[in-house]
Structure formats: C-alpha cells, structure tokens
Amino acid sequence: MTTPTREARLLETFAHLADTLVAGYDVVDLLQTLVDACQDILGSTDAGILLADPAGDLELIASTSEGVRLVEVIQLAAQEGPCIESFRSAEMVSAPDIARMPTRWPRFREAALHNGYAAVDAIPLRLRDVTIGTLNLLRSTPGAAAPADLVAARAFADVATIGILHERAVHTRDILTRQLQTALDSRVVIEQAKGVVSFTAGVPVEQAFDLIRRHARSHGALLSETAQAIVRRELRIGPPPH
C-alpha cells in the first residue's frame, strides 16, 4: 500500500470538513479533526482551537497536546496573546520567534517557551464580518510558516467556520420550527375548547374565547393549558354572571 501524498491527505481532510454542511455532525469531532490535520499535514508541532461561546467569551475546544492546552488556557486567563489578538482583530497574527518578543504578551511568551514552542500563527475562524474563534498553529522551531501551509490552514479554518455557522443556523431554524408547530398545535386545542365552552355555557364562540382567556389570566395559567384542561373535561367554565 502506498503512503498517501500530502495533496491526497489535504483533499481527504477537506472532504471530511465539507461533511459539516449536512446535519448530524459533532462539532468537537470536527474541530479535533482540524487540529490533528494541522499537526499531521501542515508541519505544526501542535495546534489548538478557541471558540467563542454565545456571550462572546473564548473557550478551548480542541488541542493536539497538553502543552498547547496549557498555553491556550494561560492566554485566556491573561486575556493576552496572538490568539486573543487574532480573535479581536479578525486578522491573522504571527510571531515567528517568540523568544525575541520579551515585552509583547509576557505571560503567553513565558508559557509558550516553557512548553517548547518557538513560533505561532493565529488564524481567525471568520466568515465575512462574523468571527467565531481562532485556529492556532504552534511550532517548536523559530521561523515563519511555509506560505502553502498557511493557505491550507486558512482554507481549513474557513470550511470549519462555514460548517459551524451552518449548524447554528440549522439549530436556530429547528427551534423556530418547533415553536411554530407548538403554536399551531395550541391553536387547534384552543379552537376545540372554544367549541366546548360555547356549547356547555350556551354562549357564542367569540364570547367563549373571552371566558377562556379571562379564566386563564385570573388563575395565572397559560391559555393553551387552560384550553387543554377544558378539552380533557378537567375544567368546566360556566356562563358569565348576569
């Protein structure tokens, strides 16, 4: 069996990331695949991903080693470092020789050097004006990353970003669909309850609805729950007092 070429492995990774555009994928597995590919194919010693939560705070989601995890955690605690700066600026931030930057990001510098990292590139996970995190490539030797590796890393990050935003959009649509269906189902029950109260209380349907609403409000109950109780014959609403 022949060893897959670098190009073949790149294509395989892109195919896997493209699967995020269908439902039912695991976001954490996606991002772990992304950092593993950066380590295995792009020549990074390690890689990590920070992803913003709904409040906009970054959290470590995937990493290739304990060392990079510690560096990322220190960046988050200190709110300093190339990854933080990349997220805030939505631009790639590179430090080809961490040892030669004693005054910039001092806590990040100390943690990175202590864990054996000499260079870093932070790439935003960005789609147009939306930035959701950063992909961070760390190397054990100083020097700029190969341009082809950065192009591939940016492409990986873009595909992952599209997948994550797509999943969030689908999730939001699912919530809206469920809410709409719940509203439609509730309306059916309310119509049934109106008919029941109209018949039992001997009032027009329009007045029956007013009686149901008044009862729900006076008892601090939901209109849909009140209607369900009426339909199940658990609640009887009589005619209004004269």
What is the residue-wise DSSP string for the chain?
-PPPPHHHHHHHHHHHHHGGGSSS--HHHHHHHHHHHHHHHS--SEEEEEEE-TTS-EEEEEESSHHHHHHHHHHHHHT-SHHHHHHHHTS-EEES-GGG-SSSSHHHHHHHHHTT--EEEEEEEEETTEEEEEEEEEESS-SPPPHHHHHHHHHHHHHHHHHHHHHHHHHHHHHHHHHHHHHHHHHHHHHHHHHHHHHHHT--HHHHHHHHHHHHHHTT--HHHHHHHHHTTS----PPP-
Residue 1, pLDDT score: 38
One digit per residue, pLDDT tens: the chain, 242 residues? 345 687 788 877 777 766 655 555 567 777 777 888 888 888 899 999 888 887 888 888 888 888 888 999 899 998 999 999 999 999 999 999 999 987 889 999 999 999 999 999 999 998 888 888 899 999 999 999 999 899 989 988 888 787 777 767 766 666 656 655 766 687 788 889 989 999 998 998 888 888 998 898 888 888 888 999 999 999 998 887 76
Q: Would you say 103 and 84 are in contact if contact means Cβ atoms under 8 Å apart?
A: no
The region, left, alpha or beta by phi > 0 then psi within -120 to 50, assigned to residue 202 is: left
The verdict on residue 76 lying in a domain is: yes
Amino acid making up residue 22: V
Same domain, 80 and 192: no
In a domain, 158, yes or no: yes
Residues spanned by the domain of 104: 6-169
Domain identity same for 134 and 23? yes
Based on the fold, state whether residues 165 and 189 are members of the same structural domain.
Answer: no
Asked, for residue 72, whether it belongs to a domain, the answer is yes
The answer to whether residues 139 and 31 belong to one domain is yes
- Write down which residue in 169, 189, 206 finishes a domain: 169
Length of the chain: 242
Residue with tokens 């969030």: 168
Q: What is the pLDDT of residue 186?
A: 79
